[in-house]
Structure 1
Amino acid sequence: MRMPFKKTGSYAARALAIAALLCFGRAPAPAQQQLTVWAMGAEGKLIRQAADIFEKRNPGVKIVTQAIPWTGAHEKLVTAVVGDMAPDISQMGTTWMPEFRAMGALEPLNEFLPSPALDTGDFFPGARESNLHLEKWYGLPWYVDTRVMFYRTDLAARAGFKKFPGDWEGFYEFSKALLASKDGGYAFSLPTNDWQIFLMFYWQNGGELLKGAPLTAGKFEGTIEYLKRFFDGKLAPLEGGNDTDLLTAFESGYFPVFISGPWMISQLETSKPQLNGRWATAPLPAGERRASFMGGCNLVMFRSSPRKALAWKFMEFMAGPEMQAKWYAISGDLPASRKAWNAPPLSKNPMLASFRKELDTAKAPPQVPEWENIAGSINDAVEEAVFGRVTPQAAREKLSARIEKILAKSERQQSPAFKLALALLLFMVPVGAVLLYLRGRRAPVSSKFQPVAVLFLLPAVLILAVFLFIPIAASFIASMTNWNMYGVNDWSKVVFVGLENYSGLMRDPVFLAGLRNTLVFAFIGVPVSVTLSLAMALALNAQLLRAKAFFRVAYFIPVITTMVAVAMIWRWLYNPEFGLFNLALGWL
């Protein structure tokens, strides 16, 4: 049945009217601004709460947060910078700041400063230092941490001390009295391979880093000699202390004193509640001056951000005293703002008083991009000195030379055309070798070129080229250059150095030790393991052993046992305080 024309027209008119109302009946909603923020570890999970507060105060803004584990954070940030996929804002450790600044990845913030909503003078001095370079701000302090002494007040009272000592000599006498008043264990947990702890004592002794000379002569040696007194007097373990569970050792009195940060307060309160009221915190004992380590994290803006004004607004919000106080309530992270410490949860917490005192004089490491390499060299030098392998003076001289070498920058200049020609030449070396190999092979007489076969092989060859051959060739070319963080965004700083990297590798004691261990494992460990396994298998199948079922089960148990469980069991067996092996050796 056909519908009348007038009725059809009325339906069409109604449809057009509804469409017009939908399209033009109300003003279009303003476009939502979006900001991407990366944060690491626990902060990455909790920053969503701060983002919600910011979104409520700024309608039309959407904060996209992404949590990144600390274990892969550095690599992910470097990859994002190189691939031009960096977020607008990211959390960044204080010791990473110089490296990413050298890459040219961070946006200077001076155009936004001074700001009426943010007092940069309110930040602790060490927190400011980690963000400033040549009078330019490259980030804002988000939260800080420093190190203080954790000690057992009940054991200290038993040793005759109602108050923690405030200077080096007093702390040494305190440690001797503490050890004498208890049975077994040590007085102090003092790692031999922690550059942060060493630097705190070095700074307290009046030493400086990279101010004129790499190290201060006399101050380095004096710090080593002071720390060696604890090892020589058996007040701290020279070996084995790193494998001890610190909280358990603190509870038992094996380590009644240790150095740690603010996170340890909640760990002690939750995992060792039976110790509540029997421990306290205290500032580090002072040498010539008071100093501790300034840690924590900053917020940085990347140059690639297209929303810099909005990014600054969020950073300003997070760095303000009000939000820093709220962030402590959310995460437990200590504020970088002095005014935020006036909040009752911070000012009235007796365990935080020592941290507040240390933050005024805490120092940050020098803001040099090569700091991670320098820190590793400090660990090596300190370990050699405290173990007595070299004298403190020799350790300082060796470390100073190593630091100067790390900081030395090549003055060589090479034209882009020369670099391109040399790169192509190096790329053609392996390609030419493959072509010569293929040409040298004699093809069968009956074979002939088949275009269809090439089409079938092409996808696989392309995949292998992109993901295997080209990366190998690129790695080979990079090994012939001085490529480092300075060349990530500025290829003009990359120069060819020939075989210098390989010659340096052959002089590296760590590489040579690793090479030696690998060769021993490959040519001794593997053959011996295979031979013994084959011998045991033959013995089980032969009529030489009784209780074959028992031995078969015993040999097969490691296959079905979790490696983590096995590692934990063996770590417990070797524990210097509770381990069965240590207990058995004590009976001898």
Structure 2
Amino acid sequence: MKKIVQMAMVLTTIGLLGACGNAKASNNNEKGSSNQLTFMVSADTNAKKKAFEWMAEEYEKQSGTKIKLEILSGSDIETKLKSALLSNKQPDLARVSSVSTNYTGYALDLTDIYNKYDFYNGTKYTYDDAIIGISAGVSVTGFYVNKTLWDEAGVSYPKTPEEVWTWQEFTEKANEVVEKTDADYAMAMKSSENNVKCLAYSYNGKSRFSEDGKTANFASADFQDAYQFFVDLNDDKFMPKSVMLSGEDPASLFKTGRVASLFSGSGQLIDFEQTIENFEYAAVYTPKGETRATMQGGDYVVGFKNTGNETETKKFIEWMYHNEVQSEFCSLYGSLPAIEGVSVDYGKLADHMKVFQNELDETSPMPAQDLSLFQDLTEPRDSDADIEFDNLKRAINGDVTVEEAREQMQSELASTTDYKVEK
């Protein structure tokens, strides 16, 4: 399969550095010092920081090995990790939101760890037939309503899985809430490729690939209606265009109390619980078209080669998925467990998390399988560019029609891979 030229250049650089490096060279911690591991973590909330701090402290108690945490924001970790790898000063492991060309050539194969547990679909990142990333916990796309506004308007919303609304029912009811209250918008939606993919999956229930995985369908006419529906939502009346086009934070809009609903994810819950005081909110079931669907976030744990601590690093990663560790970590972090059958005490968040767990349980393996194929096609990559999402944003801006956006997706996909692309 053809790879993006930029990827080839980075992997070539990685290969040269790997050949030159040796396990005794200097590192952030002493290489070969198995009594201490350096763990670079992307964590942008206090809850996430506390979860990893608990994990580090607990592992040291149980094993005697110190976990030296280096906690960074999501934007900073990519830059710092890339620099560390290119200078052969990589940490022993890292928690990253996505896997990029900056470190695929350095990553440890975690397949043996993955095979020990009953992981949910979508919790692994595969590259060149090796599993190089495993989710620490699971965050999923999901819906919230401003319960105060909906109750004021006298409009009902789903409270059980049997009451899940269709996209058409949702838009009608959300518009009714705006009409009967002082809400500014019916919905805000996180500007995320995962949310767009989730909407498209649920709307038409179709895979982006043929059954044999050799033909890409996602730019085909099968997705025209789903894409058109998404673009039409961004009309500055139902939903503000500024979120998709200018990066305005939809969660902040929702927290003003003037937005009827939010399509974002389970990762917002702890922040909402700590910051929303002027209205009641509720997690609700995501609308469906042909099927129910959710998409999982990134949040991958990656181990690195050439540290001298590879064996101890894999021991620590394997320990992360013990039932009791997953249970406490997910309770602190506000995520669903990556392992099936793990019981988590979410306290006041329990009812909300029950909704998100049901979303995950009721989603077919198709979205996760498609994401894996899509990663093989276009990732890892240096940028956050997404063939599908980027072209739909052009349609939202009025630069192209939805059909023209699909044609461009098809052209870009064909130019970066050797996949056959259906029209």
What TM-score do you get using the length of structure 1 for normalisation?
A: 0.56
* Structure-2 change in CA distance of 1:174 and 1:382 (3 Å): same
SS in structure 1 of the partner of residue 295 of structure 2: coil
Alignment of 1:106-505 (within 5 A): 106-111=107-112, 114-115=115-116, 119=117, 121=118, 123-127=119-123, 130-133=124-127, 136-164=130-158, 165-183=164-182, 185-190=184-189, 194-204=192-202, 205-209=204-208, 211=213, 212-213=215-216, 215-231=218-234, 234-239=237-242, 246=250, 249-250=253-254, 253-275=257-279, 278-340=280-342, 342-345=343-346, 349-360=350-361, 361=363, 363-364=367-368, 365=371, 366-368=374-376, 369-370=379-380, 375-407=385-417
CA contact (8 A) 1:44 1:67 kept: yes
SS in structure 2 of the partner of residue 255 of structure 1: coil
| Cα distance in 2 between the residues matched to 1:374 and 1:39 | 19
> Relative contact order (C-alpha < 8 Å, sep 6+): which is higher?
2
* Structure-2 change in CA distance of 1:321 and 1:153 (3 Å): same
Deviations 1:96-150 (A, max 9, x none): 167633xx211213455654xxx2x2x22111xx333465322332112112111
Give the residue type in structure 2 aligned to 1:54: Y
> How many Å apart are 1:374 and its aligned residue?
7.2
Q: More displaced, 314-323 or 328-337?
A: 328-337
How many residues in Structure 1 have an aligned counterpart in Structure 2? 364
> How many Å apart are 1:316 and its aligned residue?
1.0
> How many Å apart are 1:346 and its aligned residue?
6.6
* Structure-2 change in CA distance of 1:239 and 1:344 (3 Å): closer
Give the residue type in structure 2 aligned to 1:330: L
Q: Which residue of 2 aligns with 1:569?
A: none
Larger radius of gyration: 1
CA contact (8 A) 1:370 1:407 kept: no
Identify the structure with the greater helix proportion.
Answer: 1
**Deviating 4+ runs (over 6 angstroms):** none
| Cα distance in 2 between the residues matched to 1:240 and 1:62 | 42
Q: How big is the alpha-carbon RMSD for the aligned residues of Structure 1 and Structure 2?
A: 3.1
Q: Which residue of 2 aligns with 1:16?
A: none
Q: Does 1:73 align with 2:69?
A: no
* Structure-2 change in CA distance of 1:324 and 1:173 (3 Å): same
| Cα distance in 1 between the residues matched to 2:236 and 2:52 | 47
Deviations 1:420-441 (A, max 9, x none): xxxxxxxxxxxxxxxxxxxxxx
Give the residue type in structure 2 aligned to 1:49: W
CA contact (8 A) 2:188 2:243 kept: no
| Cα distance in 1 between the residues matched to 2:71 and 2:256 | 37
Deviations 1:65-84 (A, max 9, x none): 22233222112222222222
Give the residue type in structure 2 aligned to 1:222: D
Alignment of 1:572-587 (within 5 A): none
> How many Å apart are 1:314 and its aligned residue?
0.6
Unaligned stretches of 5+ residues in structure 2: 1-32, 159-163
| Cα distance in 2 between the residues matched to 1:157 and 1:142 | 37
* Structure-2 change in CA distance of 1:373 and 1:291 (3 Å): farther
CA contact (8 A) 1:377 1:402 kept: yes
Q: Does 1:92 align with 2:96?
A: yes
> How many Å apart are 1:373 and its aligned residue?
5.0
Give the residue type in structure 2 aligned to 1:349: A
* Structure-2 change in CA distance of 1:272 and 1:184 (3 Å): closer
Deviations 1:234-259 (A, max 9, x none): 32233578686756643554311111
SS in structure 2 of the partner of residue 139 of structure 1: strand
> How many Å apart are 1:232 and its aligned residue?
5.1
* Structure-2 change in CA distance of 1:105 and 1:229 (3 Å): same
CA contact (8 A) 2:100 2:381 kept: no
Aligned residues with identical type, % of pairs:
21
CA contact (8 A) 1:167 1:287 kept: yes
Deviations 1:439-463 (A, max 9, x none): xxxxxxxxxxxxxxxxxxxxxxxxx
Unaligned stretches of 5+ residues in structure 1: 1-30, 410-588
SS in structure 1 of the partner of residue 135 of structure 2: strand
SS in structure 1 of the partner of residue 138 of structure 2: strand
Give the residue type in structure 1 aligned to 2:293: A
Give the residue type in structure 1 aligned to 2:265: G
* Structure-2 change in CA distance of 1:182 and 1:392 (3 Å): same
